[in-house]
Amino acid sequence: MKIFASALIFIWGLILVAATSEAAHAERRVALVIGNAQYKNPNNSLANPLNDARDVAALLTSLGFEVVLTVDADKRQFDGSLQQFARMATDADAALFYYAGHAMQYAGHNYLMPTDAELEDEVSLPYQMVDLESVRFAIERAKGAKILILDACRTNPVADRFVRAVAGPTRTLANVRGLARIDKTEGMVVSYATAADQVAEDGKSRNSTYTTALLTHMKEAGLEIEMMFRRVAQDVTAQTRGRQRPETVVSLLGEFYLNRSDATAWEQIKDAQEPGAFRGFMSQFPFSPRVQDAKYRLEMIELTARTRAQAEEQRRAAERQAEEQRKAAERQADEQRKAAEREADARREADRKFAERIAALDAASKALPPPPPPPPTPKADELTWDFLKDSSDIAALKRFVAEFPHSALRAKAEARIAALAAVPPPPPPPPPGPSVEDLMWALVKDTKDPDQLRRFIAQFPNSPRRADAEQRVAALAAEAAKAPVPPPAPQLDRRDIARWVQLELKRVGCFTGPVDGEYGATTRTALQNFAKLAPAKLADTDPTPATVKAIQDFNKRVCPLECPSGERADGDRCIRIVCPAGEVMRNGACVAKVATEQKRTVTPEAKPPHRVGGGGGKCFQFQGRQFCE
């Protein structure tokens, strides 16, 4: 566990270094940090500005700033540092100036105090002090954010002596304590360690009260600069119990972040799959706005891990189940094998006992008397007559008389022939009725509606009446072209529409009755069957042109063809079922014929005609069938 924690800390160190390096390459940010503590006059010296400046410079460097640090700067060093800073700030993306030390205001101007400043009167101010306007000149050369942080206005004996020296010869002495507010701060952030005309505390620890709070909140990654200075002011006000109240003026058009290490670190880890990376991010940057994203990614990774663990457990359970099933199948196969062996043993034992019984029966049969002779075999004419006695085929009966002229059954055959000859022949079948094509043509041949004729052509493209229909369409088109106003469409009465519906239903195979225009029960049933099999939504009360149109949308048979018993469907018609030899029609299907005749032996005197075969049994053929003794 300790090794893992050390590795995690090392990885986060690399990420932070990469984040700072990337931030430095992304944009150029410069800073000038000055801390004056050891003044020429020991009475003016301060305890914390050197620590304040060095700590701020180190933190800014870690945040990607190019920092110039100057401590205990006299007037010449102060001006030289400002000159260098002005060149660095030219076209920079961000420029920051931090000052810790003595400062004062006079006649509405703010002055920063070099370590060698000696004030005798107001004349010496521009020559001994550094006007804050020169700092503004340098910082305003940047093209991006301009940040001015003044931790000054600390207790200043020089300012007190200056007041005493100047108060006599001047008529009025303005306030020199604290700093005055800076005018025209567009595009700048100006932070004062205390309110205007007030004095800031130097602090009793390593840093001043203001810089202590500033360092704390500058380390918070992802904190927008206005919010950062607001938190600094809250800490200072609480620490001094209201004696020191920092002020900040923000005139930026957009947001600015001093510490952006969280953003760059997030870019480094946002696609990572290790939960430790996101836990380290949340620990390192607890105030970053991307903490919620890190929590979400961590939850998703942990959810994925749990899902994978569950899937792995399910896979293992499936493997265990498969292994158990395999073993159960092996046990079942073994049991079946043993059962088969037992069954085989039982069969062998039964065969042995059966063989013993057969041997016993064979021995017993040898002791029995011989069997009686078999009954005489019927003659050939008797067999043939038994087959033909119920036949209605007069030709077959006449052949029987011709082949067995001396048979005792001849009289019965002749009587059967005479009886069949006395029965009148069946009437011829009625002529076929008109086809759907004929009925449809009879309905539309005199119509004035070319659309009906076109539908007839589309439904019957091979009809011999197609030429007449096309000629009729052309004639109607010519008449329509001559007439300025087309005549109104003919109105069909209820019987015409019913006849039309019957024709269309007959076309799709749902109506078999007569096309008579009667919308009765047969037509209604056919329409209901069509609606159920199509399927289609139709009104079942009275037929309408919409009903006709709905049926016309189907160009193929909808209702199945129903054939009577003994016939089968062949396309759109029924044909008679012909059974092959050896089968008979029974209940509408061909089945094998079951012979009920008993075998009989033909007497030697019978000499049936058309014998087939050379030896052994005696056979003959009659009406395509073969009979043998």
Do the beta carbons of residue 275 and residue 302 sit within 8 Å? yes
Residues 213 and 297 in one domain: no
Residues whose CB is less than 8 angstroms from the CB of residue 427 and which lie 6 or more positions away in sequence, other chains included: none
Name the phi and psi angles at 74, rounded to 5: -80, -175
Tell whether 25 and 71 lie within a shared domain: yes
Statement to judge: residues 226 and 342 lie in one domain: no
Structure tokens at 577: 């079922």
Q: Which of 552, 575, 599 is the last residue of a domain?
A: 552
pLDDT for res 79? 96
The count of structural domains within the chain is 4
Domain membership flag for residue 440? yes
Q: Answer yes or no: is 121 within a domain.
A: yes
Q: Is residue 605 pLDDT above 70, yes or no? A: no
pTM for the full predicted model: 0.46
Closest CA to 258 of 136, 366, 354, 149: 149
Q: With bands split at pLDDT 50, 70 and 90, how would you rate the model's confidence at 602?
A: very low
Query: Locate tokens 């005549």: which residue?
Result: 487
| Domain membership flag for residue 572 | no
Domain shared by 441 and 414, yes or no? no
557 belongs to a structural domain? no
Task: Please answer whether residues 440 and 460 qualify as being in contact, where contact means their C-beta atoms are separated by less than 8 angstroms.
Answer: yes
| 15 and 163 belong to one structural domain | yes
Q: Tens of pLDDT along 377-404?
A: 667 878 788 877 788 888 888 888 898 8
The reply to whether 418 and 455 lie within a common domain is no
User: Are 164 and 307 found together in one domain?
Assistant: no
Q: Give me the mean pLDDT over the 25-37 stretch.
A: 89
Nearest Cα to Cα of residue 158 among 118, 109, 203, 202: 118
Residue 137 lies in a domain: yes
Average pLDDT, the chain: 81
Here the CATH number for the domain that contains residue 62 is: 3.40.50.1460
The predicted pLDDT at position 543 comes to: 79
Is residue 23 within 8 Å of residue 15, measured between CB atoms?
A: no
Does 56 lie in the same domain as 168? yes
Tell me, yes or no, whether 583 lies in a domain: no
Give the model confidence (pLDDT) of 527-562 as tens digits.
888 888 877 777 665 778 888 888 888 888 888 887
Are 171 and 105 in a shared domain? Answer: yes
169 and 221 both lie in a single domain: yes
Has residue 29 been placed in a domain? yes
Residue 82 in domain: yes
Cα–Cα dist 484/488, whole Å: 12
Q: Looking at the chain, how many residues does it have?
A: 629
pLDDT in tens, 57-95: 999 999 999 999 999 999 999 999 999 999 999 999 999
Same domain for 114 and 21, yes or no, is yes
Write out pLDDT tens, residues 128-156. Answer: 999 999 999 999 999 999 999 999 865 55
Same domain, 478 and 535: yes
Domain boundary residue, one of 513, 528, 552? 552
- Cβ atoms < 10 Å from Cβ of 99: 28
Q: Which domain holds residue 358?
A: 290-365
What pLDDT, on a 0 to 100 scale, did the predictor assign at position 18? Answer: 47
